[in-house]
Amino acid sequence: MEVAVPLPVRRRFTYLWPEGAAPPLPGQRVVVPFGRRRLTGVIMRAEVKEPDPSLRLREVERILEAEPSLPPVVLDLVRFAADYYVVAEGEMLRAALPAGLSAAGREPASIPREDVVTLKAPPEMWEEREASLGRAPAQAAALCLLRKAAGRMLRQDLRRERVTAATLRALLARDWIEILHEPRQPHAPASLPELTGGAVKNLTGDQEIVTARLVTAVEQREGKTFLLQGVTGSGKTEVYLRAAAAALKAGRQVLILVPEIGLTPALASRLARRFGDLLAVLHSGLSGTQRRAHWDRARRGEARVVLGARSAVFAPLADVGLIVVDEEHDSSYKQDESPRYHGRDLALVRGRAEQCPVVLASATPSMESFQRAVQGKDTHLIMPRRVHARPMPRFEIVDLRREFREVGRANLVSRALESALMDIRHHGGQAMLLLNRRGWASFLLCRACGDPVSCPSCSVSLTLHKDRRRLACHYCGHEERVPPRCPCCDHEALQEMGAGTERLEDELATLVPGLRIMRMDADAVRRAGGHAAILSRFAKGEADVLLGTQMIAKGHDIPGVTLVGILGGDAALSFPDFRAAEWTFQLVSQAAGRAGRGREPGRVILQAFRADHYALLRARDHDYAGFYADEDRFRRALLYPPHAVLAAVRVRHRRFDAGEKLAMHLGDLLRADPDAGEHLRILGPAPAPLARLRGYYRFHLLLKSRRRRRLTAVLRRLADQLEKKGRQGGHVIIDVDPVSLM
């Protein structure tokens, strides 16, 4: 029988099956000896046959489960993904299995337990006992909480209500309560207060048409892909939730993928209210034991709806009736560490295998998904209007070049945006401000020698965080104190350059006194205890302005927001990446879509130096088709997706000269491949735009082809040669369908 082990080796290993054991099953986890180690492997091929007497095979040491962790359809998906992305099956299995199941040589983690406090008396005695505790108010308050919770609460929930251990001991001494140590039930994420009401009772005309089509696809088990393109606020979520209900009614399961669950707490809460105990959540924010508990519920069929980030595409569901990929354009679906798979693309593969519809939902679809819909390969469902006939927000672009000429200085907040914020302050409403740079200043520049203060491990400048007086690298995490003098020339003339969210918060307080401001960036989220806490407070009206990085543009539905300001909306256009315009259009459109989702109309003010760029103009006009046409001309001319398939081969090395030499050698190998030639363009090698990262020098080659099979064949042969020759002192990374070329 053949076993895949969690190592970067693109082959399986043959082991003997223990005599007397039940027959092996594909997908079972086993402990196998590997050299001097013991590893947890997964059976990929279960055929047991007489071993070749010339081979010295070792025996499986332990069988970890009677039933496979992975159903056949997921095991097939793992095989496909390993082959497509040119990685080892063991590495792909490590991504597919939750923590604790893929750990080498470990038994499955035990189900966690929790303390549950219960009232012992019959319900008719609860109020009487509570009233008898007039001289013990703390005990009476605890009994009141338990009574209102039907006589049963988690101990940790009582602790949050300031019920002390001493109070519980006193009630235990009276024999009025009991504390049970029970298996923990998996819970949905912390809920965000409902922002837009419960399930929608009356659908719009657009929603009715699209819902009917998707429900039909679910009922008839159509293995098709549907691009659900609707403007922000058009009600796409309600549509696919109704399709999900149809799948459940048909006795099947539902898989819903989102880019990052932590950034969409309202959706997680909405699903928890809609589906209750039928919902399981899979994402990296859960502990290993929590994730395994949800995983087991899905595998046993107790959970009928699975919500998760990209790795949830491997969820062990036995009979999937619908797959939804929400915000399908989001780059978070592509994993940037090995194995570098794309969750959206694997969802399409799984949908075909499950014979179920796959819904790709977005207001700003990726170029690749939109082209497939335009060509008729996928079904295009369009929702061009907002619910309740609400208008799209009024959108204006402030040209900062003109602003500078008229004002004579470069202000962080333009006159138009300052005036709009004044209106918020005096007449009500809420605003969201997007500045996609955290910290106080982008970098410190020496006016004497012209050098910025840079990271010692990365080829980037350090960002100033004034609230803690530190310089930080947002790539490797390096931090240091703010130097009194330039590290290069020892001059004192260090000047703050650029601005981040910290400085914007400070400047707004000066520009518009009395404005209540909240910040949501990585630093603020850590202090607040999560995105949900900040969004909940803002939704309750505790602040007039929520400012932050791109995380504020992630699908939040807050009816009170009437103004969205986008500062530096053209910053991404300068990135050395062919997707720069697409990223800009998507980010601006998504951020703008937060405005005017309630009763009051919305307004968007975008500040940019490149105010005439087509990505910004098309976003202003809410014109996706126009943007696609503009961008497609560039992609077609230069042979970029969706008109070609790409792969990046990257080299990382501690030494520049050795890394460059290895990259040149790889370039020679690729160009000498029999499938290279006119149908395969090879660019490079060249230093990567981010030339040094975490102490490693980086080089890359870019491969372009119109023929997927030819490109894959070249990459497989390269991977085979690399395995034979070893690492050669550096790291070589093969990235199929790269999302970023940085």
Q: What is the mean pLDDT of the chain?
A: 89
Q: Give the least confident one: 430-434, 705-709, 727-731.
A: 727-731
**Percent of the chain scoring above 70 in pLDDT:** 94
Tokens of 627: 């943007």
Residue 35: exposed, middle, or buried by beta-carbon count in 10 A (0-12, 13-18, 19+)? Answer: exposed
pLDDT at 654 over 80: yes
pLDDT at 194 over 50: no
Tokens of 445: 């520049």
Q: What one-character DSSP code corresponds to residue 162?
A: T
Q: Would you place residue 180 in the very low, low, confident or very high pLDDT band (cuts 50, 70, 90)?
A: confident
pLDDT at 291 over 90: no
Q: Which amino acid is at 679?
A: H
Mean pLDDT (whole number) for 585-601? 94
CATH 3.40.50.11540 is right for the domain spanning 205-389: no
Half-sphere exposure of 304 (CA within 13 A, CB side): 16
pLDDT at 104: 47
More confident residue, 103 or 75: 75
Query: What ranges make up the beta strands (E) of 609-695?
Result: 645-653, 680-693
More confident residue, 290 or 459: 459
Radius of gyration of the chain from its Cα atoms, rounded to whole angstroms: 28
Q: Would you place residue 193 in the very low, low, confident or very high pLDDT band (cuts 50, 70, 90)?
A: very low
Q: Would you place residue 195 in the very low, low, confident or very high pLDDT band (cuts 50, 70, 90)?
A: very low
Count helices and strands (H / E) in the chain: 22, 30
How is 699-725 classified by DSSP, letter by letter? EEEEEEES-HHHHHHHHHHHHHHHHHH
pLDDT at 198 over 70: no
pLDDT at 530: 72
Q: What is the CATH number of domain 2-96?
A: 3.40.1440.60
Architecture of domain 645-736: 2-Layer Sandwich (3.30)
pLDDT at 429: 93
pLDDT at 724 over 90: no
Reported as a single tens digit per residue, the pLDDT across 208-266 is 999 999 999 999 999 999 999 999 999 999 999 999 999 999 999 999 999 987 766 77
Indicate the domain borders of the chain. Answer: 2-96, 113-183, 205-389, 394-440+499-634, 645-736
- Give the Å distances, CA to CA, from 18 to 22, 30, 155, 681: 9, 11, 46, 51
The domains spanning 205-389 and 394-440+499-634 adopt the same CATH topology: yes
Q: What is the CATH number of domain 394-440+499-634?
A: 3.40.50.300
pLDDT at 48: 64
Paired with 547 in beta bridges are: 433, 519
SS3 62: strand
Q: Would you place residue 685 in the very low, low, confident or very high pLDDT band (cuts 50, 70, 90)?
A: very high
CA-to-CA distance for 578 and 587, rounded, in angstroms?
16
Mean pLDDT (whole number) for 538-547? 93
Q: Would you place residue 196 in the very low, low, confident or very high pLDDT band (cuts 50, 70, 90)?
A: very low
Q: Find out whether 326 and 229 touch, Cβ atoms under 8 Å.
A: no
Residues 6+ apart with CB under 8 A from 111: 183, 184, 289, 292, 293
Q: Give the least confident one: 195-199, 279-283, 380-384, 420-424.
A: 195-199
Q: Minimal CA–CA distance to 5: which of 46, 44, 39?
A: 39
Q: Minimal CA–CA distance to 421: which of 514, 510, 512?
A: 512
Paired with 606 in beta bridges are: 397, 566
At residue 398, φ and ψ (nearest 5 deg) are -95, 115
Q: Would you place residue 109 in the very low, low, confident or very high pLDDT band (cuts 50, 70, 90)?
A: very low
- Give the Å distances, CA to CA, from 262 to 282, 307, 308, 330, 630: 11, 12, 10, 14, 34
- Give the Å distances, CA to CA, from 341 to 34, 76, 345, 379, 650: 27, 15, 8, 24, 16
pLDDT at 54: 75
pLDDT at 101: 62
Reported as a single tens digit per residue, the pLDDT across 606-629 is 999 999 999 999 999 999 999 999
